[in-house]
Chain A
């Protein structure tokens, strides 16, 4: 598959280009050193910063744990965006679907007293179901009225945030003795085990079984696309809705189903954060993950394996960024700049072509974003 290799090369080069531009930013913002004309010092800062970035993401077991912890919700939410992309839908609503999933998992997590072997799966299923239901709403709106999913998912994000804010203050969810929007703790039996828990004393490492759930979800996504009639129908609809309709596929139902599947992935992201990382829910449980997931899907070109790699990269940047901030004066905000640069270079393949003097067409590349048409 020549095309796959070509797009992989572009993705890699985009990352390299972004690292290069970020390096430039680190050097020129090291004002103290530059003010003294001490260029050597500025470059040493750069070295320390990038070393910190690496050390903090892969340099130790703790670093790896942090990378995995960051990557877990990004991967699940990334799948929510990727799977919708594959069906020709632009899912901006991962945030809202995550919140729905978080609340579903939370409720099952604190309401029932069950053995862990039943409780954990049940809570995860509740997360996926809540996310799927919430995700299906924009699907139904699109199928029935033609309302564009970009608009409706953005609006539903706000609806979800405020609903969660309200729910967290109701008697059902409210934590005893607290007035702010913060929930009860889930039962111990509903918590996802720590990934490195088998190592006994390293119980303080944050990575949890949510990562395994995410890996499983990635596999399910791959299996769906490659092996099932539904996946075939989703992709046909995504590439060419007219042709899908001509072929007798029920494109309207497919829109709803595709959005529900996307919602289920995002719901699991919310659920795994609550059940694996926090043990409770707050109004900010979804954070910016729903939006970062769009960048993850874009970077991963909406393929299962690509989404996985992109989520790990973003998780690593997040974990390494903290170390970088500790080791140098370079603020963690640089990671946001770096991520933005990666996305920019991905979205502007011609720029990457020009920088690296690649001959030939950057064809089929900008296609991940097909914008408002579909």
Chain B
């Protein structure tokens, strides 16, 4: 079977999300769809899945045009979608989730749960997707939840399975398992569309690669011959530096010292468990780990947004454990928070206001009760130029900026003053390759100027290439302190999954 999208154009007010996009995928092959955020990948897939209706163009199955007015039509035509954010009911079992919407019913319309279990087993056996039909979703790790989604799609007899950024939430070893599943699906005669912005993964698993840029097809690549750099260039429209360009670190005196720091949630769970480490002036320390292993809480405790249950945080020899966020800020700590829209910015306020959000009380921008907006605007103009923030008018709201430029606003605000320590959490999550390159360069520049830099990221590539030293966090503890130049990504991945490389090899 062959699915074709032909000349798809989808407009939203003010933007053309898809402009004459054509692509095809057949059963038995993996098509990787690559593009930066906002390139139109999701829009295109939503058109294919019947969520949006295209303004122009058509969808063909084996050459005959079809029209989807809802996801139900798309499902009936053999299209399945595994969303990035899983659509599962956490308190229900695997079997209940899988049959949701296509429930087998007994007499009087009651749910036939044993039939549901049988259906799950049948599919999971056929495709080697290990699953316990009676497990409750909220008890399952993310990788297994993804399997539940896949079984759900297969049970509805999907010929083409669309995966939207499927590896974003997985550990390195789960990603390998996921690739095995994709291979099984393909050999069983299904087709796969794999949406991603990770070039390495696309090269590993895809039979063909299509690249989208600004709503248009920027080109196609053959994974057997193409290189990462070539595809990245297609994605961005210019040559990009994929590896962080930096010299050897010259660490100086200890700036940040975290000693036996623990954070306990209100429900009694210990999320950061007696963590100790230090960051010296002029070095970048990276914290690797799968999301949800206490990194968020660790950073918030260091930044003063969360109370430490025990332990201490010391900055330049001064204990700051009980300091407020503002006092830490004044003591020379910069914080680039994990979620730019939720914490780092007030997106409904102007770029100017956001550029002084953590600094408006400085004498430079206010005198007592009154704001000095002229000074703030002058500063904003300066920062917009210096940090390459793409905007015509800094008095416009920050919501008008792209994700990458929003992040540059935060980076500009936090790094443009005299600081001793920069704490950056997921500094490049969900932003374009060009901005990633720029922000990495800024952090290296900051390091070379003698600032201590702490970077927390779930992107292993980022931590490995940016850091001078890598700490691995697992279940609230720091389980390894590694040199990124000598350790392999695979070994770091094993630490992230809670095992030790030597043990894993022995078994």
Complex contact A248–B324 (CB within 8 A): yes
Residues of B within 8 A of A236 (CB): 346, 349, 353, 357
**Closest CB in chain A relative to B99 CB, distance in Å:** 33
Q: Which of A352-372 contact B (CB under 8 A)?
A: 359-361
B348, CB-defined interface residue at 8 Å: yes
Q: Which of A203-244 contact B (CB under 8 A)?
A: 226-232, 235-236, 239-240, 242-244
Contact of A232 with B360 at beta-carbon distance under 8 Å, contacts A227-B370, A245-B325, A248-B324 already known: yes
A198, CB-defined interface residue at 8 Å: no
Most chain B CB within 10 A, of A228, A235, A240, A361, is at A240
**Closest CB in chain B relative to A144 CB, distance in Å:** 17
Contact of B371 among A232, A245, A247, A359 (CB under 8 A): A232
Complex contact A239–B346 (CB within 8 A): yes
Complex contact A247–B349 (CB within 8 A): no
Complex contact B371–A227 (CB within 8 A): yes
Q: Which of B353-372 contact A (CB under 8 A)?
A: 353, 357-358, 360-361, 366, 368-371
**Chain A facing B: main interface SS:** helix
Most chain B CB within 10 A, of A227, A232, A236, A361, is at A232
Measured CB to CB, the nearest residue on chain B to A228 is B369
Complex contact A245–B305 (CB within 8 A): yes
- How distant is the Cα of A236 from the Cα of B344 in the complex, in angstroms? 11
Complex contact B370–A240 (CB within 8 A): no
Residues of A within 8 A of B349 (CB): 235-236, 239
**Closest CB in chain B relative to A309 CB, distance in Å:** 22
B83, CB-defined interface residue at 8 Å: no
Residues of B within 8 A of A361 (CB): 13
Residues of B within 8 A of A228 (CB): 369-371
Complex contact A246–B325 (CB within 8 A): yes
Most chain A CB within 10 A, of B346, B366, B373, is at B346
Complex contact A246–B347 (CB within 8 A): no
Complex contact A243–B371 (CB within 8 A): no
Measured CB to CB, the nearest residue on chain B to A360 is B13
**Closest CB in chain A relative to B294 CB, distance in Å:** 19
Residues of B within 8 A of A235 (CB): 346, 349
Measured CB to CB, the nearest residue on chain B to A359 is B13
Complex contact B13–A240 (CB within 8 A): no
B505, CB-defined interface residue at 8 Å: no
Convert B360-391 into 0s and 1s, putting 1 for each residue whose CB lies closer than 8 angstroms to a CB of A: 11000010111101000000000000000000
Measured CB to CB, the nearest residue on chain B to A244 is B346
Contact of A246 with B305 at beta-carbon distance under 8 Å, contacts A232-B360, A236-B357 already known: yes
Complex contact B343–A243 (CB within 8 A): yes
Chain B contact residue count (CB 8 A cutoff): 28
B156, CB-defined interface residue at 8 Å: no
Q: Which of B294-343 contact A (CB under 8 A)?
A: 303, 305, 324-326, 329, 335, 337, 342-343
Q: Which of A338-364 contact B (CB under 8 A)?
A: 359-361
- How distant is the Cα of A121 from the Cα of B342 in the complex, in angstroms? 44
Complex contact B342–A240 (CB within 8 A): yes
Complex contact B335–A246 (CB within 8 A): yes
Residues of A within 8 A of B303 (CB): 246
**Closest CB in chain B relative to A368 CB, distance in Å:** 12
B415, CB-defined interface residue at 8 Å: no
Residues of A within 8 A of B305 (CB): 245-246
Most chain B CB within 10 A, of A226, A230, A236, A243, is at A243
Complex contact B369–A248 (CB within 8 A): no
- How distant is the Cα of A181 from the Cα of B149 in the complex, in angstroms? 68
Contact of A246 with B337 at beta-carbon distance under 8 Å, contacts A229-B360, A229-B366, A229-B371 already known: yes
Residues of A within 8 A of B325 (CB): 245-248
Complex contact B357–A243 (CB within 8 A): yes
Complex contact B371–A240 (CB within 8 A): no
**Closest CB in chain B relative to A302 CB, distance in Å:** 12
**Closest CB in chain B relative to A361 CB, distance in Å:** 5
Residues of A within 8 A of B347 (CB): 239-240
Complex contact A230–B369 (CB within 8 A): yes
**Closest CB in chain A relative to B52 CB, distance in Å:** 15
Residues of A within 8 A of B337 (CB): 246
- How distant is the Cα of A240 from the Cα of B305 in the complex, in angstroms? 15
Complex contact A229–B370 (CB within 8 A): yes
- How distant is the Cα of A247 from the Cα of B303 in the complex, in angstroms? 10
- How distant is the Cα of A360 from the Cα of B11 in the complex, in angstroms? 11
**Closest CB in chain B relative to A149 CB, distance in Å:** 21
B345, CB-defined interface residue at 8 Å: yes
- How distant is the Cα of A143 from the Cα of B305 in the complex, in angstroms? 17
- How distant is the Cα of A247 from the Cα of B326 in the complex, in angstroms? 7
Measured CB to CB, the nearest residue on chain A to B12 is A361
A-B contact pairs, 18 of them (CB 8 A): A227-B370, A228-B369, A229-B361, A229-B368, A229-B371, A236-B346, A236-B357, A239-B347, A239-B349, A240-B342, A240-B346, A243-B342, A243-B344, A243-B346, A246-B303, A246-B344, A247-B357, A248-B324
Chain A interface (Cβ < 8 Å from any Cβ of B): 226-232, 235-236, 239-240, 242-248, 359-361
15 further interface pairs, Cβ-Cβ under 8 Å (given A236-B353, A240-B348, A248-B325): A229-B360, A229-B361, A239-B346, A239-B347, A240-B345, A243-B346, A244-B346, A245-B305, A246-B305, A246-B325, A246-B343, A246-B344, A248-B361, A359-B13, A360-B13
